[in-house]
Amino acid sequence: MSFPILLFAAGLGTRMSDMVADKPKPLIKVGGKTLIDHALDFTEIAPIGQRVVNLHYKADMIRDHLAGTDILFSDETDQLLETGGGLQNALPLLGNSPVVTMNTDAVWHGPNPLEIIIQAWRDDMEALLLTVPRKQVSGHLGKGDFFHNEKNQLYRGPGNIYTGVQIIRTEALADITDTVFSMNIVWDQIAARGGLYGVHYDGQWCDVGQPSSIPLAEAMLHV
């Protein structure tokens, strides 16, 4: 089975302060490599099909950076659509359901997160989120996002942290009429039906959400 993937690269990156004055956040370098290239490295596996990147802030810089690749672009330059709206907007390019989505503002040390989540996917799931225990996290300011029950179904609470990687059946977006909305709205609806699941990541994960996270990420990568 092949999974198309959407890489979220449209955000303003305001927490990065002056670092995004002249470039979009996905082009900030960690260990000599841009954040978006760190993410794209994981997509070079057989189960990943069409790759799509959404664009808003300084979109042309990302287009230029990825010129010559087979990546398609979902344009949000007129309006930033948030994560749910961004996925909905990209559906004509992604094609098949289910799809993988991945944030481009994190760095990983350990197994390929896309391989982990794809191996854990089952046909009875509506969405599967990759989460990580706090002890394996650097640079993240939140208190946690989800608890797992004995069936690995997710429910809200300050437990494990969402890593920004998921597989989701896009039919779950069909009842949402808003143009701009967060994935959180979709997850809450799926969770109420019992279809939201989680799988743990066994490696280290760094949320590169602010400038102080960059040396933490580089230390994690041993660069």
Below-50 pLDDT ranges, the chain: none
Task: Give residue 31's pLDDT.
Answer: 96
Indicate the pTM of the whole model: 0.96
The CATH number given to whatever domain includes residue 209 is 3.90.550.10
Name the residue among 103, 120, 98 with its Cα closest to residue 111.
120
Sequence-separated (6 or more) residues with CB below 8 Å from residue 185:
84, 176
Query: CA-to-CA distance for 131 and 48, rounded, in angstroms?
Result: 20
Query: CA-to-CA distance for 122 and 133, rounded, in angstroms?
Result: 22
Name the residue among 117, 107, 109, 106 with its Cα closest to residue 48.
117
Task: Give residue 83's pLDDT.
Answer: 97
Domain containing 136 equals: 3-221
pLDDT digits (tens, 9 = 90+) for 205-217: 999 999 999 999 9
Q: What is the CA radius of gyration of the chain?
A: 16
Task: Give residue 146's pLDDT.
Answer: 98
Q: What DSSP designation does 31 have?
A: T
Task: Give residue 116's pLDDT.
Answer: 98
| Cβ burial, residue 70 (10 Å; 0-12/13-18/19+) | exposed
pLDDT digits (tens, 9 = 90+) for 67-77: 999 999 999 99
- Structural domain count of the chain: 1
Element (H, E) at 209: none
Please provide the DSSP assignment of 168-182 as one string: E-GGGGTT---SS--
Query: CA-to-CA distance for 184 and 182, rounded, in angstroms?
Result: 5
Please provide the DSSP assignment of 46-98 as one string: TTEEEEEEEE-TTHHHHHHHTTTSS-EEEE-SS---HHHHHHHHHHHHH-SSS
CB atoms within 10 A of CB 112: 15
Task: Give residue 96's pLDDT.
Answer: 80
* Angle at CA of residue 151, ends 94 and 184, nearest 5°: 45
> Do 103 and 164 form a contact (C-beta atoms < 8 A)?
yes
pLDDT digits (tens, 9 = 90+) for 70-97: 999 999 999 999 999 999 999 999 998 8
Q: With H, G, I as helix, E, B as strand and everything else as coil, classify residue 125.
A: coil
Task: Give residue 1's pLDDT.
Answer: 82
